[in-house]
Structure 1
Amino acid sequence: MIRLLWTASAEVRYFLRRYMPSNVLLDLIRTRKGLKWGVPAMLLAGPYLAVAFWCTTLIESGGPGWLHLVVLLCIWNALKMLAIGPVSVVLLTKARARAYRAQRQERSDMTLRELTRSPR
């Protein structure tokens, strides 16, 4: 039974990770080229929260109960979009520091090779 639940949760996670637009966007942002788009992606939290507010208004005026799931999903996606901004800034800083260190190491290795070159 536990194995069945484990397999089902893994399949659901794979499906959501692969096909849900917010997860696809987050995966693209986490790449080296996409890190610069993390802070602007935080702006997407606004429309998610607006849809959640609109759905709660519909629910209060007698709308269907399944809209609670839409509200939950919208709030969850808004939180993910808000979190990717600071995370992408930290990851971008780390990536740039790594590139700077590699470039500095390459320069020092080149200087060392020039100094140790034997004169002919």
Structure 2
Amino acid sequence: MFRLIWTVSVRTRYFLRRYMPTNIVLDAIRTRRGLRWGIPAMLLALPYLYGASVVTTLIAGGAPGWLHLVVLLMVWNSMKFIIMGPVSLFLLVRARASESRGRLVEHRAATAGARPYQSV
């Protein structure tokens, strides 16, 4: 039974990571090239929050109750984008610091072997 639950959860996660639009965008932002788009991607939370507001208004006006799931999904997606902004900023600073350290080490290694006036 445990193996079945594990397998279903792994396959569900794979499907959601592979085919859901918000997860595709967030995976693209997590790459080194995409880290700079984390803060602007926070703006994508606004349409989701607006959509959640509209659906909530529809529910209050007598729409079916299963639309609460749509509201939950929209709020969840907006939270993912809101959280990804600061996280991508942190990851970008960390990546740039690492690249800077690497360039510094390369520069020191290159200049250490090329001293023109060494005394013997």
TM-score range, shorter chain: over 0.9
Structure 1 residue 76: Cα displacement? 0.3
Q: What TM-score comes out, normalization by structure 2 length?
A: 0.94
Letter in 2 for 1:92: L
CA distance in 2, matches of 1:48, 1:88: 20
Q: Can you give the 5+ residue segments of structure 2 that lack an aligned partner in the other structure?
A: none
Cα distance in 2 between the residues matched to 1:67 and 1:83: 24
Which residue is 1:39 aligned to?
39
Query: Matched residues in 1 for 2:63 and 2:114: separation?
Result: 76
Q: 1:117 deviation in Å? A: 9.5
For residues 18-70 of structure 1, the C-alpha deviation after alignment (integer angstroms, 9 at most, x for no partner) is 00000000000000000000000000111000011111111111101221110
The two structures have a TM-score, normalised by structure 1, of 0.94
Instruction: Tell me which residue corresponds to 1:84.
Output: 84
Measure the CA separation in 2 of the matches of 1:117 and 1:69: 74
Identity %: 56
C-alpha separation in 2, matches of 1:6 and 1:58: 37
Structure 2 distance, partners of 1:27, 1:54, is 28
- Aligned twin of 2:66: 66
Find the residue that maps to 1:114 and give its secondary structure: coil
Extract unaligned runs of 5+ from structure 1.
none
Write the letter of the residue equivalent to 1:67: L
CA RMSD after TM alignment: 1.4
Q: Report the CA distance between 1:115 and its aligned residue.
A: 2.3
Structure 1 residue 81: deviation in Å?
0.3
Kindly provide the amino acid, as one letter, of the partner of residue 9 in structure 2: S
1:52-100 CA deviation, whole Å, 9 max, x = no partner? 1111111111101221110000000000000000000000001110111
Point out 4+ residue stretches in structure 1 off by more than 3 angstroms. Answer: none
